[in-house]
Structure 1
Amino acid sequence: MKGKLAAAMRNLGLCVALAGLTACASGPMDVSGTTPGPLSIASEGSFFIGGHDVHSDTLSTVPNYATSGTVTVGQVYVSYQVPTHARPLSLTLIHGCCLTGKTWETTPDGRMGWDEYFVRHGFPTYVIDQADRGRSATDIETINAVKEGKAPVTALPALFAASHEAAWAIFRFGPQYPQRFPGEQFPLDSQSGLWQQMVPDWIASLPTPNPTVPALSQLAAKLRNTVLISHSQAGIYPFQAAALSPNGIAAIVALEPAECPSATGDLTPYTKIPILVLFGDYIDQSPRWAPRLNACRAFADAAVRAGGHVQLVLLPDVGIHGNTHMMMQDRNSLDVANWVLHWIDTHVTAAAS
């Protein structure tokens, strides 16, 4: 019996070490095709941050469930892993449009995600679900009010979902579905694993600033020394959080942000925080992303003139080619991760030491 149990534990890839919790899952293969060693973590867990309580009289249209009461909305779910022998600097990963924190986990074709990779490199790593997305609760009050005739149909929240065909061009797998850019790196043979990750997006129905922004500000203050790594729709959030308060924000890494701060606005909040704005390949072939790159370049230039430490980089310019908008899931995702970690080591860790 003991032998069978031991074999089962090996098959599950789980073990517990006396010095701490060690996840021994063989997990995804790395880019070299070899199995990574055991993942040693000192602690892992989850919590919520932000949000506020509201009273509602339209909590339910289902019989036997109370219609009135108090609920919490606008909160943000955070999961984390802290490795053994952790560095003093943590990383916080913030997903973009129509997605959740799954963005950073195991890739669609089963390779190691950035969340695990960063932990393996000694960084406590925090992964969020934006407010009203994933495990962060959605406010249904208005929907029920319309259903009960207490509000007009025009009051319904504005929601959208990205189709496979639309996302194909947005994510720059090719100029249009199902064409592919030559040399693009996304594992399209496993594209169903990406489509399964996608969820309806509530951002157009949320207040300004997005509740994720003050939650990130609170999270940074709680962690005290974290790099906010954002993607796409969420690219602007770390900048907005820094404008609320720079406390705890060690640096900003914005991966293909849909929006950068205005080049003509107040740049003061961005002059004391190291900032990297990173874009992938095929930008000049995308009518959606080329203008965004130009706007971010204008911001970076203006911030540098104002005394900031801002670097805008295109991956092809540093020898990394074929990256789509989903660079953290591309086949060369760990090459990109290594480049980001090198930037952090040279611009953040070194500056803090």
Structure 2
Amino acid sequence: MTHRARRLGPVYYDEFAPAGAPARTVVLVHGGSVTGACYLSTPDGRPGWACSFVDRGYRVLVPDWPGVGRSAAIPPDELTGAVVCEALGRLLDEQDEPVVLVVHSMSGPFGYRLVETHGDRVAALVALAPGPPGNIQPEPRVLAETAASLEIQGEVLRWSLPKQGLWWPTEAFARAKMLGTGTRFPPSAFARFRDDLVPIPAGLLTERQNVHGSQLRVHDPAPFAGKPMLVLTGDHDTDHPEPADAATAAWLRTLGATVTYRYLSDPAHTGNGHMLMSEDNSGELAELVMEWVGLLD
């Protein structure tokens, strides 16, 4: 395996390549409050999904969103989902062949937008506990609003959000949102996980909550026709109850995508929360994804 740290415009990314010719290129895009490092290793020190995919012969790219982590060149108040997607789209354009695009949580709408704008560069989409698009996500109830902040009631969780700058994750957020009620997250690794969380640019978080209808929407269904997609969700993910992600899968089908929806409630996989790539069965879940990708060939 070879590893190179690279930069394209505002995006820093890690590139991992197997010893031989790669089967495919997989792009692993992180969600909110974390960086691409969540795919490099688990909080308790095991090899991450990037290693699992490379070991199976895939070339893997792991970017940080522009303005986040190692890609922190863009000021937070200039960041929108459209800006993030434009930068990630440049990364897709640089590849020799279409990629398998893996998105998690807040990156779900980025994945849908990239299929719409770069459908010829995306061979398949894997959406892990994905946020819904603005097309189907209801607007949250605004409980209070000032010039500087918002308090909203989301579909499951209540949020206090700044309108500018950065939103810093709290320990309560980490436990309720990132871990949920699952039994798969290694308890001894929580302190390290909490300490490694990063702030989310305020504008990206208000978009994710669809405040005032701001979430990214899909306007052109044509690139979705026949596109293979996997939606994968843990059965103890507090912010992603089964009907929510089932609705996202159903919406993708209405656009013509060929969708596999996997809700992890079977005895072999039950207990997963939100951070599928960090939990004690992360290697098994990577195998599930790779088995699905293998069916594309």
Give the TM-score normalised by the residue count of structure 2: 0.66
TM-aligned CA deviation for residue 278 of structure 1: 0.7
Matches within 5 A, 1:309-328: 309-317=258-266, 319-328=268-277
Q: Tell me the C-alpha RMSD between the 2 structures.
A: 2.2
Q: In structure 1, what residue type is equivalent to 2:110?
A: Y
TM-aligned CA deviation for residue 261 of structure 1: 6.1
Structure with higher RCO (Cα < 8 A, 6+ apart): 2
Tell me: CA distance 1:238–1:127, structure 2 relative to 1, closer, same or farther (3 Å): same
Q: In the alignment, what sits opposite 1:243?
A: 116
Q: In the alignment, what sits opposite 1:23?
A: none
Q: In the alignment, what sits opposite 1:30?
A: none
**2: CA distance, partners of 1:335 / 1:240:** 29
Matches within 5 A, 1:172-321: 202=76, 205-223=77-95, 224-260=97-133, 262=135, 266=219, 267-283=221-237, 286=238, 288-290=239-241, 293-317=242-266, 319-321=268-270
TM-aligned CA deviation for residue 345 of structure 1: 0.6
TM-aligned CA deviation for residue 322 of structure 1: 1.2
TM-aligned CA deviation for residue 83 of structure 1: 0.6
**2: CA distance, partners of 1:137 / 1:97:** 14
Q: In the alignment, what sits opposite 1:127?
A: 62
Gaps in structure 2 of 5+ consecutive residues? 137-216
Q: In structure 1, what residue type is equivalent to 2:240?
A: W
Tell me: CA distance 1:265–1:138, structure 2 relative to 1, closer, same or farther (3 Å): closer
TM-aligned CA deviation for residue 295 of structure 1: 4.2
**1: CA distance, partners of 2:87 / 2:121:** 13
Give a deviation string over 1:213-267, Cα, whole Å, max 9, x none: 1122222222222111111111221211111121221111011112246359643
Q: In the alignment, what sits opposite 1:46?
A: 5
TM-aligned CA deviation for residue 137 of structure 1: 2.4
Q: In the alignment, what sits opposite 1:56?
A: none
Q: In the alignment, what sits opposite 1:116?
A: 51
TM-aligned CA deviation for residue 206 of structure 1: 3.7
The answer as to whether partners of 2:40 and 2:48 remain within 8 angstroms in 1 is yes
TM-aligned CA deviation for residue 318 of structure 1: 7.7
Q: In the alignment, what sits opposite 1:82?
A: 17
Tell me: CA distance 1:303–1:90, structure 2 relative to 1, closer, same or farther (3 Å): same
Q: In the alignment, what sits opposite 2:175?
A: none
TM-aligned CA deviation for residue 289 of structure 1: 2.3
Give a deviation string over 1:54-75, Cα, whole Å, max 9, x none: xxxxxxxxxxxxxxxxxxxxx1
TM-aligned CA deviation for residue 306 of structure 1: 4.4
Gaps in structure 1 of 5+ consecutive residues? 1-40, 51-74, 141-201
Choose the corresponding residue for 1:103, options 38, 45, 69.
38
Tell me: CA distance 1:47–1:265, structure 2 relative to 1, closer, same or farther (3 Å): closer
Q: Which has the larger radius of gyration?
A: 1
TM-aligned CA deviation for residue 277 of structure 1: 1.0
Tell me: CA distance 1:325–1:299, structure 2 relative to 1, closer, same or farther (3 Å): closer
Aligned residues: 215
**2: CA distance, partners of 1:265 / 1:217:** 15
The answer as to whether partners of 2:11 and 2:63 remain within 8 angstroms in 1 is yes
Q: In the alignment, what sits opposite 2:282?
A: 333
Q: Secondary structure at the match of 1:99?
A: coil
Q: Percent identity?
A: 30
Q: In the alignment, what sits opposite 1:20?
A: none
TM-aligned CA deviation for residue 86 of structure 1: 3.1
**1: CA distance, partners of 2:289 / 2:30:** 16
Q: In structure 2, what residue type is equivalent to 1:326?
A: M
The answer as to whether partners of 2:12 and 2:64 remain within 8 angstroms in 1 is yes
TM-aligned CA deviation for residue 300 of structure 1: 2.3
